[in-house]
Structures are given as C-alpha cells and as structure tokens.
Structure 1
Amino acid sequence: MTNHNLYLRLVGDRFEKTASQPFLIIPGRRPLLFSELDRMTGCVAARLLELNVEPGDRVMVQVAKSPESVLVYLACLRIGAIYTPLNPAYTTAEVSYFMTDSKPQLLICQPIERESLFDLSLACKVPHIRTLGSDGDGDLMHGLESLTPEMTVVEREADDLAAILYTSGTTGRSKGAMLTHHNLASNAEVLHSYWHWQDQHDVLLHALPVFHVHGLFVALHCALLGCSTVYFLSRFDTGQVIDRLPDCTVMMGVPTFYTRLLSDARLTPELCSKMRLFISGSAPLLAETHREFEQRSGFQILERYGMTEAGMITSNPYHGDRLAGTVGYALPGVSVRIADNNGNELPRGEIGVLELKGPNVFKGYWQMPEKSAAEFRQGGWFISGDNAIMDQTGRISIVGRAKDLIISGGYNIYPKEIEAVIDTIPGVAESAVVGVPHADFGEAVAAIVVKDGSRQLGEQEIIEPLQGRLARFKQPKRVFFVDELPRNSMGKVQKAELRDTYKESFGSK
C-alpha cells in the first residue's frame, strides 16, 4: 500500500539541504529550523497520542497564530487525525455548535478561554481540553521535550480526511467541509508549480491567519514544498510588513493588505526590489487597487480564486497578463464551466453559476449527506454559488454571488446568521443584512432594521446585544432604520436594492 499521508509530501525527510535554514522566523522568538521540524512534530504527535487521539479523530483547535499551532497541524497529519481549526474570534456559543457537530477527541484553546470552554467541553462530551498560547505557553506543550517523539507516519488512503473546515451556511448553520489528503496534496503541488516557486530561495511574508485555507494550506503548503523560509507575523501590521518586504520574495494577502500598504508612503519599487510575486485572494480585489499598486510598487498583483470546499480553483498567470477584475484561468487538472440554474453549460460570454470538478474538490459536508449531494451536479460538478463569466480564452471573472455571502477583510460572512440574532432583540420587528463597499475591508456588514415600536432603538441598541453572541468581524459596522424592507411580489426581501441604497455608506467605491 502506498502511504498517501500528506505529511510525507510536506515534511518527510525532504530538508537535508535546508536543515540549518529557518522555516519560521517569528518576531521576538527563536526561529524554528527545518532541522527541528520533524522531531518537534513527533513530540507534539506523542502528546496527542497520550490524549488517546487516534486516526480519524477530530482535533479542534481555536488558538492564536503561533509556530506551535503549525506543529499541531502537522502532528495531526502525522498520526492520521482530522485537523479542525476555528477562528479565535468565535464566541463560546458558536464553538458549542462546532463541538456538538464534530465531536472532537481533543479541544485545544487559548489559556484565557479555558475556564469558559471547560464546562462546555464537558457538556459536549469532549474527552480532553488543552491550552496553547501565542508564545507557546499552555499545558499542551508542557513537558513536551521529555516525551519520546512519535516518528511513525500513519498510513492514509488518498481519500482519508485530513481536515474539516467550517464554512458558514445561508441558513445560518455552519457546514464542515471535509478535505482529504489527496485534495490538499494535489492543490499544493499545482500551486507550487503554477506560481513558479523558487525552491530553497523564496522567502514568504506570512501575515495571514492560519485557521482557513489561505493562510494554512495555500501559504504554508507552498512554503514547505519549496523548503522556503517564512516570516511568520502574528497579524497584518503595515509597519512590520513594510520592514520585512526588503527581505522577502513572495507575499500572500487579502485585498485589505494591499489597500493598507498603499496608504504608506514607504511603498516604492526600491522597497520591493527583492520581491517576485504578490498574490491576492479571499475577497474581490478592486481594479483601482490593482492599478495603483502596480504604479506604486512596480508589480502587478496576481489575483486568484478559491473557496473552502476546493482550495484554489483559478489563477491569473505567472507569465502573461494579470488583468484587473479577473481571477484568471482554471488551474491545471481543474475543470470549470459556467452554467444556468439547471446545470446547463452556457456559451462563453454569458453570466451564470461557476461549477467545477477536479482532485481539489472536497469530499462533502460533515454529517450532511443530503446537503452534500445537493451541491453536486450529475457528472461530479460542484456548484460554487458564485456568478461568473468566461471569455473566449477561458479567463474567468467573478461578477457577483448567487448567494448572499459577504466577504469582509477576507472572512466569509452569511447574513442569515446575523439576522437571526438581531431579530431576537426587543424592539426589532425584522432585519436584513447586506454587504456594502468598503475601501479597506472590501465589503462591510450593514444591518437594515425595522422597529416594532415597543421601545426606543438606536444603533447601539442593536450592536451591543451582539457582543459575545457573534464574532466581531460579523457584527454590523453600520445600522440603518427603515419603516419597511423592500420586497418583490413573492414577498422576498430585495437585497440588491438595499445594497444599492446603502452602497456609499462608507464613501463611494
């Protein structure tokens, strides 16, 4: 049997030539060397085995970004566990659903959250809870060096699960996208080749979070395949990124990163003299940002398109025109088409729903067989839910979303979840939540509220009750009050009209 465990492809015994080279450089901390990676991952794996984590068990991780969090991910791969990361901004109420749904063997949280999550973990019958802080503190890592490293790499089939990533649903119920070892390996290898990774020479500037596809899989997998040093910043800070750019060759970011760099006068071609590639994704990049960044830095940003369920799907070319407002061509091995609502392929130049298939497409939604089946057409085509157009050369442009998804600062936000909470606030008759243009975040959440007349309501009376119930990035940045919501003849709220009405709430686009 061939062992398809992704760990062998990412780490294995590949680092002989780069053993003394740093893998992760962390401000204020000692670098993590390539020579240490396999052994330290083995130590973390030994700790997981102490906690009775077996192949196929879920390990739920809600922690701050740190080198140790990367080791936990790799250790899960090594022993065949299913890595299940959560945004640290999720509230206890939100985490409760994820634990109940995935039934993890182990929950790893931040030390400050242990008390609030301990009783919840008991109620959800999670056998073990451990803590991990941003500086490597917490009981998960305590005494790790005294353990005998677990150096075995558990055999996995290509179709075995490597990770479950939760993505919000239009009904408000989050769905766990099941990603296999082959899904992740195939996508990583395609990107490594397509973006012309310079093995052992590229240096990646990493300021993304590591609880979703972009920062965890796209960025780190490419770096590991390329034996590349990574400047591992805890978050995006314009000053820190400006300071590091002269030492790096590749940067991946969301559009917000680029708008903030443009606000700094130090962004010049000279600053970027060692860079070879700027990549943007997770949210639409405005054509204006694309043009201005090229003028200021001398580089065309390479925009690509992906989603939780499939990793990366399309990319502008490495060599050739990177057209503003487009997301390029289907990646090698990935098939895409534009179809109508019935799954009939449309001619080039017509707008429809983007559908795709390929080795990168996920296995389905955890514990949701009916929902999984509904998202696929006959022949294995996955329905993305994004409206797009394909030109005669095969270049794709995303022109809108078939669903009401809001993408703010690279985070996916579904209005139904927010509306359901707002509608419980005393004095609210009903609400509608939409995304409106925002220069920094791409889109910002706006809530349009109808009062029932039972009490006085202002913006704060809507926003304050959301604290502790919704992650901060989901909370509205503006609240507007209206007498009634616009509806069509079938009674459906016309969100397109609302988006148009409030499109200049944060300035013109």
Structure 2
Amino acid sequence: MTNTLFDALMAPHKGEARDFLILPDGSSLSYDDIHRLSGRLANLLTAQGVKPGDRVAVQVQKSPEALALYLATIRAGAVFLPLNTAYTPAEIAYFVGDAEPALVVCDPARAARRDDFLPDGGKLMTLDADGKGDLIEAAICHAEVQNPVPRRGDDLAAILYTSGTTGRSKGAMLSHDNLLSNARVLADAWRFTSEDVLLHALPIFHTHGLFVASNVLMLAGGAMIWLPKFDAAQVIELLPRATSMMGVPTFYTRLLDRPDFTGELVQKMRLFTSGSAPLLAETHRAFEDRTGHRILERYGMTETNMNTSNPYEGERRAGTVGFPLPGVALRITGEDGSLLPRGEIGQIEVRGDNVFQGYWRMPDKTAEDLAPDGWFRTGDLGMIDPDGYVVIVGRGKDLIISGGFNIYPKEVELLIDEMPGVLESAVIGVPHPDFGEGVVAVIARAEGAKPDPDAIIADLSDRLARFKQPKKVMIIDELPRNTMGKVQKAALRAEYAELFSGRDQTR
C-alpha cells in the first residue's frame, strides 16, 4: 500500500538534482531539495503528535517551505488545511474550531494573537514569507529520510473551506484520488511535460494555485518560477524563461495595460490559462491581438477542482469554458431535476473521480448537494451550446427574480460590457417595494471615460425585455473582488440594498 498522492507527485523525483522551484533572485531548489525538506517536516509533524487523518491548518505566505509543508502533511498521512492569508484572527477561530487541527502553522506576527484563534492547549508553530520560523528550526533536527504513511485513494488529503457567501463556510473534503485523478487529466489535456516551466504567481491557499498548478507540474516533472505574488513588472521580466502561465483574469488585464508586454516577450510560451473568474471576451481579443496567443479558459471549483476546459487543440471559444474533461460527466438540469436540452439554462451538475467526498461535519448540506449516485449540484447556472461548449451564466444565488420573472445577470452584463466607456459590469438584484427585486447595473468605467447611465438604459431598451432592463445604473471606478479575482456581488448587494427604499420605482 502506498501514499497515493505523495508517491505520484514526488516519489519519482527523489534524488533528482534538476530545477524544481526557480526563485525571483535567480536561485533555485531542486526536486531533491524539496523532497528532503518535506521528509524533515513530515518527521517533525509526527513528533508533534500529528497522526494519520489529523488536520494541519496553515495560514502562511507563499514560499518554497510552505509548498514543502503541504507535501510533508500528505506524506505524514495527515490532511492539509490551507487558509487565506487575508483572514482575520476571528475568522481563523471559526476554521480552527470547526476543523480541530492537531497543529496550526501561521506567520510569526500572527502568533502574537494566538489567544484570539487557538483554544487552550492548541499547538502552534510559525513560518514566515522568507521560510523562517520555529517550524523550520525544529525540522532541521529531524532526519530527511521518512517512509510516507500508507494512504488509500479515498482517504482525505485536504480540506478547503469555501468562501461562505451562501452561509457559514463549508469545508470541502478532498481525497487523494480526487486530487490525483484531476492532476493526471489536466497534465494530459494541457500537454504538460518535464520540459515545461510554469510561471507560478498564484496564491497556494486556493485550489487553483495549489492543486491545479503545483500538482500538475509535479506530476509532469516540470519546473516552476515561484513568485510570492503577481507583480506585472516581475512577470514581464521572467516570462521569457517560461513555457506556460496559469492566471486569473486580472493577471491578463494588468499585463495588457503595460506597453512593454509584447508578442516578442512570449515567443517561448506555449500556453496561457485563465480561471477563478470569467474572462471578458474583450480581454480574449486584446490578448490574442497583442501576443498571438489565445488564452485557454476552464471551469472548476473548490469541491471538484477542474470540470471543463477549452481544447488545447481546436477552437478556444471566448465566453465559454469548453467541454467536460475526460472522466467528468456534466449535465444541465431544471428546478425539478429534469435533464434540459442544449441551449436551455439550468443548474450545472457534475460527476467524476474529481468530485469531493462531502462537506466536513455537515451531513445535511452534503446530502443536499451531493446525490448518492455521485452527481454534485454545483449551484452554478449554465447551458451547453449547440456545439457542445459549456457556458456559465452565473451562480444560482445571483439569479434575480423581478416581478415574478427570472433574470440571469450574465445576459445583461454581456450587452453592457460592449458599450463605449464600460470596462466591465456587475448586474445584481436588490430589494424593491413593487417587484420584489429591482435590477441594478453596477459599472466600472474605462479609464478616462464617463458613461451616461440614462444612455445605457436607453441603449438596452430595444435589446432586452423590459423586465430585464436595469432600473438603476451606478457608475464606479472598480468592482470589488476577492483574492482570486471574483467579483463580490454579495458586497454590491449589501451596498445598494436601500437603493429603492421609500421611492416610487415603477419602471
């Protein structure tokens, strides 16, 4: 019996001196360096009383040592629990209370407030952005040699908490097989090999940077240019050394804002992918015009990793997330659970080896979203177009019901985004005294532009049914986003909740 995930990702590279992590200062760490460090850390975890199945909660800045800690955790048979570095001590207290980790690892500066998030007797160790802290100091005293703890494919490897925008955060339980099956599919679908060098500027507390990017490259035996965060100038400097980059839409818009981002710069690149938030068709076109590369957009989520992808070879169609990945089944269902034909909007459901095991200590929520036959109700609304491409329309919670009519925000947003002076838009529903919900378009203006709200409403008057048209248009400088670049519609709904209060709005 083997340690399913660790043995697949790192065991084949034991003793290999070739580059694995290339750092911004030009130095590098080999596969063997990380293999040996993860061995020390795994032995340390065991010495700290971490047993197979125990959780190790980690809120640290991105570093090579942080990646080694992830590998050490699964190597020791434990369950890795990464936490967003932006979470406050009060938020961390919830996760620690819910997951009951055997060990918490945080930045030394955060450790000073341990009483705010750690119960009496809880174990805490530290690791900073430079890879220093008592975790590493203690690991040095342990041997590099460690026999990975045997794990079955259905044993848990990680718990990732969802953002909690639909209620209290839920811990998605991901098994060794969930993560490994998806990494294998993606490495093949996106043609990753040991010759690849991935420019890695994503955080590693999220499935995108940790499981999609890192797992795929380890499985393929490639190297990663390991950046602590996205910095456009730094990325432009390092792109000539890379063959691929995985990013969020903001990465690409920021690169396009710079005149020194040119087609010559990316001559060695073979692949750019985008996810975690929708990529505007305008960004697709501008990026292709500038570089000759068409960004590959895909669709995934915390509970499943990746579900669909535009093709590596073939048309990468803007506004879609491509086709279901090999081994992933996808269907569109109505409110009654019936299967809907192509072209009709409904809930996206997926099934496959990538689908999680359920929500940590939430059996009722698990039963609600994950059917006994394996179909997971994603909560995303979408359709399959006539050519088989999957189109994401929005989250179910973003559905607007005004005057008894269903309104899908994406349909309105696509029209507004084409208008002069509009950078991007977010369409939301807020309380309305007559209609239940009133449609509001919140628009981020393009630089130097002054969009006219009345003109925008007038332009939509003959393009959308009246009930879909915004009753109000708000112009702002920038839409609020979370750390992965997703527009925070919940924040917008809260901000404009009183917009129609006490007013006569009968449009």
Q: TM-score, normalised by structure 1?
A: 0.80
| SS in structure 2 of the partner of residue 152 of structure 1 | coil
Larger mean CA deviation between 147-156 and 341-350 belongs to 147-156
Q: Does 1:13 align with 2:7?
A: no
Q: Does 1:211 align with 2:205?
A: yes
Name the CA distance, whole Å, in 1 between partners of 2:3 and 2:90: 36
**Compared CA separation, residues 171 and 392, structure 1 to 2 (3 A):** closer
State the 1:377 CA deviation. Answer: 3.6
State the 1:399 CA deviation. Answer: 1.2
Match runs of 1:187-206 below 5 Å: 187-197=182-192, 199-206=193-200
Name the CA distance, whole Å, in 2 between partners of 1:26 and 1:219: 16
* Partner of residue 275, structure 1: 269
Name the CA distance, whole Å, in 2 between partners of 1:439 and 1:168: 27
User: Residues 227-273 of structure 1, C-alpha deviation per residue, up to 9 Å, x if partnerless?
Assistant: 11111111100000000111100000000000000001112211000
Identify the match of residue 226 of structure 1 among 220, 225, 228: 220
Name the CA distance, whole Å, in 1 between partners of 2:185 and 2:42: 28
Larger mean CA deviation between 58-67 and 387-396 belongs to 387-396
State the 1:143 CA deviation. Answer: 4.2
Name the CA distance, whole Å, in 2 between partners of 1:217 and 1:42: 20
Contact kept, 8 Å, 1:5 with 1:78, in 2: the verdict is no
| SS in structure 1 of the partner of residue 12 of structure 2 | coil
Larger mean CA deviation between 349-358 and 374-383 belongs to 374-383
Q: Does 1:147 align with 2:149?
A: no
User: Residues 319-339 of structure 1, C-alpha deviation per residue, up to 9 Å, x if partnerless?
Assistant: 000000000000000000011
Q: TM-score, normalised by structure 2?
A: 0.80
State the 1:437 CA deviation. Answer: 5.4
State the 1:380 CA deviation. Answer: 2.0
* Partner of residue 47, structure 1: 44
Seq. identity, %: 50
AA in 2 matched with 1:68? E
* Partner of residue 32, structure 1: 29
AA in 2 matched with 1:65? K
Q: Does 1:307 align with 2:306?
A: no
Q: Does 1:318 align with 2:312?
A: yes
Name the CA distance, whole Å, in 2 between partners of 1:379 and 1:486: 49
* Partner of residue 69, structure 1: 66
Name the CA distance, whole Å, in 2 between partners of 1:434 and 1:245: 40
Q: Does 1:91 align with 2:88?
A: yes
| SS in structure 2 of the partner of residue 98 of structure 1 | helix
**Compared CA separation, residues 437 and 275, structure 1 to 2 (3 A):** farther
Identify the match of residue 75 of structure 2 among 74, 78, 93: 78
User: Residues 73-118 of structure 1, C-alpha deviation per residue, up to 9 Å, x if partnerless?
Assistant: 0000101100000001001111111011000000000011001124
State the 1:38 CA deviation. Answer: 1.7
**Compared CA separation, residues 483 and 196, structure 1 to 2 (3 A):** closer
State the 1:7 CA deviation. Answer: 0.1
* Partner of residue 470, structure 2: none
AA in 1 matched with 2:48? L
Name the CA distance, whole Å, in 1 between partners of 2:35 and 2:262: 39
Identify the match of residue 351 of structure 1 among 331, 345, 353: 345
CA RMSD of aligned residues (A): 3.0
**Compared CA separation, residues 434 and 28, structure 1 to 2 (3 A):** farther
Name the CA distance, whole Å, in 1 between partners of 2:21 and 2:306: 23
Name the CA distance, whole Å, in 2 between partners of 1:156 and 1:10: 14
Q: Which gives a bigger RCO, structure 1 or 2 (Cα 8 Å, sep 6+)?
A: 1
* Partner of residue 467, structure 1: none
* Partner of residue 294, structure 1: 288
Name the CA distance, whole Å, in 1 between partners of 2:441 and 2:32: 46
AA in 1 matched with 2:395? R
Contact kept, 8 Å, 1:64 with 1:88, in 2: the verdict is yes
**Compared CA separation, residues 486 and 64, structure 1 to 2 (3 A):** farther
AA in 2 matched with 1:69? A
User: Residues 380-437 of structure 1, C-alpha deviation per residue, up to 9 Å, x if partnerless?
Assistant: 2100111111023321010121124999xxxxxxx9xxx9xxxxxxxxxxxx999955
Contact kept, 8 Å, 1:170 with 1:404, in 2: the verdict is no
Name the CA distance, whole Å, in 2 between partners of 1:39 and 1:30: 18
Name the CA distance, whole Å, in 2 between partners of 1:191 and 1:484: 47
State the 1:148 CA deviation. Answer: 1.4
| SS in structure 1 of the partner of residue 118 of structure 2 | helix
Name the CA distance, whole Å, in 2 between partners of 1:267 and 1:194: 27
Contact kept, 8 Å, 1:187 with 1:312, in 2: the verdict is yes
**Compared CA separation, residues 379 and 119, structure 1 to 2 (3 A):** closer
Identify the match of residue 119 of structure 2 among 119, 122, 127: 122
**Compared CA separation, residues 483 and 396, structure 1 to 2 (3 A):** closer
* Partner of residue 3, structure 1: 2
State the number of aligned residues. 433
| SS in structure 2 of the partner of residue 108 of structure 1 | strand
**Compared CA separation, residues 480 and 368, structure 1 to 2 (3 A):** closer
Name the CA distance, whole Å, in 2 between partners of 1:270 and 1:41: 38
Contact kept, 8 Å, 2:13 with 2:31, in 1: the verdict is no
Q: Does 1:374 align with 2:371?
A: no
User: Residues 274-318 of structure 1, C-alpha deviation per residue, up to 9 Å, x if partnerless?
Assistant: 000000000000000001000001100000000000000000000
AA in 1 matched with 2:34? L
**Compared CA separation, residues 188 and 391, structure 1 to 2 (3 A):** same
Identify the match of residue 337 of structure 1 among 322, 331, 337: 331
| SS in structure 1 of the partner of residue 331 of structure 2 | strand
**Compared CA separation, residues 202 and 15, structure 1 to 2 (3 A):** farther
Name the CA distance, whole Å, in 2 between partners of 1:90 and 1:194: 34
Contact kept, 8 Å, 2:3 with 2:149, in 1: the verdict is no
Name the CA distance, whole Å, in 1 between partners of 2:439 and 2:342: 33
Name the CA distance, whole Å, in 2 between partners of 1:433 and 1:131: 48
AA in 1 matched with 2:228? S
Name the CA distance, whole Å, in 2 between partners of 1:485 and 1:171: 24
AA in 1 matched with 2:105? I
**Compared CA separation, residues 163 and 438, structure 1 to 2 (3 A):** farther
* Partner of residue 175, structure 2: 180
State the 1:25 CA deviation. Answer: 1.4
| SS in structure 2 of the partner of residue 141 of structure 1 | helix
Contact kept, 8 Å, 2:358 with 2:366, in 1: the verdict is yes
| SS in structure 2 of the partner of residue 80 of structure 1 | coil
